[in-house]
Structure 1
Amino acid sequence: MRTTGLSLVIGMFIAVRPGMAQSSATLSGRILDATTGAPVVAATIAVTTTGGSARTDSLGRYRLEGLKVGIHRFLVSAPGYSRGSVTLAFAAKERMERDLEIEPVAAPGTTGVVGADTARAQVLPKVPVTADAAPGRRFTDFERRRATGRGQYMTRAEMEAFNVYTLQDAMRNMRGVKFNCTGGVCRAQMVRAPLGCPPEYVVDERIDNTFGPVIPVRDIQALEVYTGVSDVPGEFAGRNSGCGVIVIWTTAGREPRRK
């Protein structure tokens, strides 16, 4: 998005219901262009569970207040971009900050390049692509850890190939992982962990033991599973690492900034 000699300032509209409880949560952050990392102005983020919505300002910032404790699904849209969605869980009085990315859509009949001379555009023959698509810059650490051979890993393509429908399905055949099921709910338990010692969930580089176990598989882009303290990389070592660590990368995560 470009502006020439024009200062764009668009107000942020926040949906706040009267009489919201003091225990309600807040979600804030920015909506970013997935290709350039630039802020997306006038994007809308809507809460499907409440009907509330917010619109980004000239810096791509948004803020949603009055969210009840529990799981909410958010839809992000903006002119010229594909729609995106993310599901997040909130605790009482939580103040979550999350930057979200959406993919730009090229206009039909153009090359997708701003300022391209479409009158002189030449149609090139189709070239078959046989190489796997690059996973993206945000998965650099995922690939580095997978190369060490420590832990167990699964990508989005592998989940689709194996017809995985839940997080439990994805981990069911992994070594050293079992499940304790009560009341129709199954929770992962590492074989080497003490009884009643649940694994730590890290979602997009943030500890989230509330949303992690129930995250929809459609939102998972990659998965790392470490069943014991000897497998856990240093960046995930902590007080619960002896119980195992499950690292989840979702569609909501951001690419790191280019230096």
Structure 2
Amino acid sequence: MLRARIIIGLACSLSGLAVQSLSPVAAQADNAAIVGQLVDHQTREPVGGARIGLLGVGKELASDSAGRFSHAGLRSGTYVLQVHAIGYSAASWIVELADGEVHSEVFELQRLPYVLDPLVVERRPSLSEQRRNEFERRRAAGRGYFLTEAEIKRESPRSLADLLRHVPGVRLQCRGSMAGCTVRMARAPRECRPDFVVDGFEASNATSLDMPTIGIIGVEIYRTLSETPLQFLRADNQCGTIVIWTQSGPR
């Protein structure tokens, strides 16, 4: 009987250790989610049938008739939510997910102005062609630091931090590892962080550099106020601007 009790006690102890060893694995599961609704900025009416994508995640979603959508099974981290809807300007948002978090938010879309001119028959460049042409014009002007799609593919960075690490005049401030890094310009005051623009839209919360580089086709880095073009300049901008262009941007 004594030997049987010892064996049973040992089995219980091993079982407890097994449960404890599994806990970290469970904590790393893909258990975060984004739940959202798309609405018209002016009327607050839901926007259905919109295409919704997460930069770096292959699956594309569509909003239902009530403007709702959800994406489960996500890891904790930083995501770029991109939305395209007929009659509305393309929009991007930065969403940061903690482990196990269900992020719920209402996203507002701006209507496109309707300009009808039946006499115009000349071909106009698409939005994607136009933004590429503007990118090249700004690069040729010699103001700021530019990373082209070819350069990004050649470097094969895993995150935005990897991409910015060797840019002259840019400093990364990290806490022990690349995760949790922040960026500032060398000439900017301490604790002064640059503005971020994604596909032409302000993304003021995009201070995390864990953003994946999959789908990024161009980056513009403006380290000073004098370098920054007017379309990316804000009245209170004293810390520089980082402009990111993606494949999922306006077409």
Change in Cα spacing, 1:238 to 1:46, as seen in structure 2 (3 Å) is closer
Contact 2:39 2:106 in 1 (8 A): no
1:166 Cα offset (Å): 1.8
**Is 1:186 the equivalent of 2:190?**
no
Instruction: Compute the TM-score of the two structures, normalised by the length of structure 1.
Output: 0.53
Q: Secondary structure at the match of 2:181?
A: strand
In structure 1, runs of 5+ residues without a counterpart are: 1-23, 30-41, 77-85, 100-134
Change in Cα spacing, 1:230 to 1:177, as seen in structure 2 (3 Å) is same
Report the equivalent of 1:89: 95
**Is 1:252 the equivalent of 2:245?**
no
**Is 1:139 the equivalent of 2:136?**
no
Change in Cα spacing, 1:157 to 1:223, as seen in structure 2 (3 Å) is same
Q: Distance in 1 between matches of 2:139 and 2:192?
A: 25
Instruction: Compute the TM-score of the two structures, normalised by the length of structure 2.
Output: 0.55
Q: Which of these residues, 212, 216, 219, is aligned with residue 216 of structure 1?
A: 212
Q: Which of these residues, 189, 196, 199, is aligned with residue 204 of structure 1?
A: 199
**Greater helix percent: which structure?**
2
Does 86-95 or 220-229 show the bigger shift? 86-95
Change in Cα spacing, 1:45 to 1:226, as seen in structure 2 (3 Å) is closer
Q: Distance in 1 between matches of 2:81 and 2:201?
A: 19
CA-based RMSD of the aligned residues comes to: 4.3
CA deviation vs aligned residue, 1:170-229 (integer Å, no higher than 9, x gap): 222211101111253111110110000100000111111324643210121100000111
Q: Distance in 1 between matches of 2:215 and 2:93?
A: 8
Report the equivalent of 2:152: 159
Change in Cα spacing, 1:146 to 1:26, as seen in structure 2 (3 Å) is same
The within-5 A match list for 1:51-62 is: 53-54=61-62
Report the equivalent of 2:237: 241
Contact 1:26 1:67 in 2 (8 A): no
Change in Cα spacing, 1:210 to 1:246, as seen in structure 2 (3 Å) is same
Count residues in correspondence: 173
Please tell me whether Structure 1 or Structure 2 has the larger radius of gyration of its CA atoms: 2
Q: Which of these residues, 159, 164, 167, is aligned with residue 171 of structure 1?
A: 164
In structure 2, runs of 5+ residues without a counterpart are: 1-34, 41-48, 84-91, 97-102, 112-127
Q: Distance in 1 between matches of 2:36 and 2:160?
A: 26
Q: Which amino acid aligns with 1:189?
A: R
Report the equivalent of 2:142: 149
Change in Cα spacing, 1:43 to 1:150, as seen in structure 2 (3 Å) is closer
The within-5 A match list for 1:95-114 is: 95-97=107-109
Q: Distance in 2 between matches of 1:236 and 1:75?
A: 19
Q: Secondary structure at the match of 2:221?
A: strand
1:138 Cα offset (Å): 2.5
Q: Secondary structure at the match of 1:218?
A: coil
Q: Distance in 2 between matches of 1:225 and 1:144?
A: 15
Q: Distance in 2 between matches of 1:44 and 1:159?
A: 26
1:65 Cα offset (Å): 4.7
1:88 Cα offset (Å): 4.9
Contact 1:27 1:98 in 2 (8 A): no
